[in-house]
Amino acid sequence: MGDVIEFKDNGGDFDLVCLSHLRWDFVYQRPQHLLSRCARDRRVFFFEEPLYDGDAPRLEMRLSEEGVRVVVPHLPERVRDRKEEEEEILKMLLGRLFTEQRVREHVLWYYTPMALAWTRHLRPLGIVYDCMDELSAFKFAPAELREREAELFRRADLVFTGGQSLYEAKRGRHPHVYAFPSGIDREHFGRARTPSADPEDQAGIPHPRLGFFGVVDERFDLELLDSLSRSRPDWHFVIIGPVVKINPDDLPRAANVHYLGGKSYKELPSYLAGWDVATLLFARNEHTRFISPTKTPEYLAAGKPVVSTSIRDVVRPYGELGLVRIADETGEFVAAAEELMRGGADADWLSRVDALLAQNTWDRTWARMSELIEGVAARRLAAGAGTAVRAARASGAGTFAAAGD
């Protein structure tokens, strides 16, 4: 299996094991904000989707800067299109992880329902589904995703949604669904309010600058960006983030469009500080119907005026409160940006921004989530669901030692 590093236990009455389709180091977003806070109190294992390399299955594990144990399964290339064999190997690797890391009492936290295929045998104290997106609407979504999600709804104790629209779509499917929209690390993004030296790759880009950071994929409105760049060749559009699931050749390539690639979470405020307007250039399609962009409060915390297309969870509440301008067509987008750059926002705009953001921090979000999770775990233990776990502990064996070997 490869080396699995033994890390010091940081306490907590149960471990949290997250099954994710995202990579910890891809883009710093909702999972990182929430699970980093969880890791302050207990062990968190972040089990990523597999990499297909090498000849033999193995696990790689490292401790992230935030204290999360990031677990990467490496599988042989030959199983990439052999779903049943792949799932059996993942089940085996997870069993070994539980044994070697002495994972006993635990809560399962799902970001992908696809992981059910190799985790059904586990007996957790609780199951959480953090539904941050409508995954079935994404490009290249597995055909069986809807069926697996229906099963996860039946199994889950708690369902969290990443926004209000997603909550409204899911609340009838489970008795315990809670809306937890994107929070904000105000101190981090607030650094962009203080002038600082431009990053080297942005310093030479003229003003005015209209910026976007995030994943550039099927949700990004390429046509709008192309139209804006042609309509205002004197404006410069700064695009930060990885390009995935779309052909890079399809990206607008005007001289005033600048693709700077992915940046670390730590670097983002320094880029934001040099923008004149922040943008949410999302297409209006089936891929964006339920999204709740984390970048909305991040832009606002940076003190930047924002123009967004009419994404429902941006319109409510940010657009309705007059904190973000909403525009879908090129002409109205240009007009909104021009007005904001002329200082057309309300005089008390920033104070109203701060008042709203103060109510919606990641710390407050995690505190409420944690309260709900601990309540489920405590009730399960009190009802005797931890008996098998404690018996295995007394025998000196890992609870799931035989689960996958």
The domain ranges of the chain are 15-183+361-395, 187-357
What lies within 8 Å, CB to CB, of 88 at 6+ separation is: 118
Distance of CA 199 to the CA centre of its chain: 25
How far apart CA 349 and CA 310 sit, in angstroms, is: 20
Best CA proximity match to 111, nearest among 92, 133, 96: 133
Write out the two tokens for 28. 């710093």
pLDDT tens for 244-256 read 989 999 999 999 9
DSSP class of 48: P
Q: What is the pTM of this model?
A: 0.85
Check whether domain 187-357 has CATH 3.40.50.2000, yes or no: yes
Cα 150 to Cα 17, 134, 142, 154, 294: the distances in Å are 21, 13, 14, 7, 26
Question: Does the fold of domain 187-357 match that of domain 15-183+361-395?
Answer: yes
Q: What is the DSSP string of 96-121?
A: HHHHHTT--SEEEEES-GGGGGGTTT
Per-residue pLDDT 10s for the chain (405 aa) are 444 444 444 445 899 999 999 899 988 999 999 999 999 999 999 999 999 997 899 999 999 999 999 999 999 988 887 888 999 999 999 999 999 999 999 999 999 999 999 999 999 999 999 998 876 666 656 778 889 999 999 999 999 999 999 899 899 999 999 999 989 999 999 999 998 899 999 999 999 999 999 999 999 999 999 999 999 999 999 999 999 989 999 999 999 999 999 999 999 999 999 999 999 999 998 888 889 999 999 999 999 999 999 999 999 999 999 999 999 999 999 999 999 999 866 779 999 999 999 999 999 999 999 999 999 999 998 887 544 544 433 333 333 332 332
Write out the two tokens for 112. 């992908």
Check whether domain 15-183+361-395 has CATH 3.40.1710.10, yes or no: no
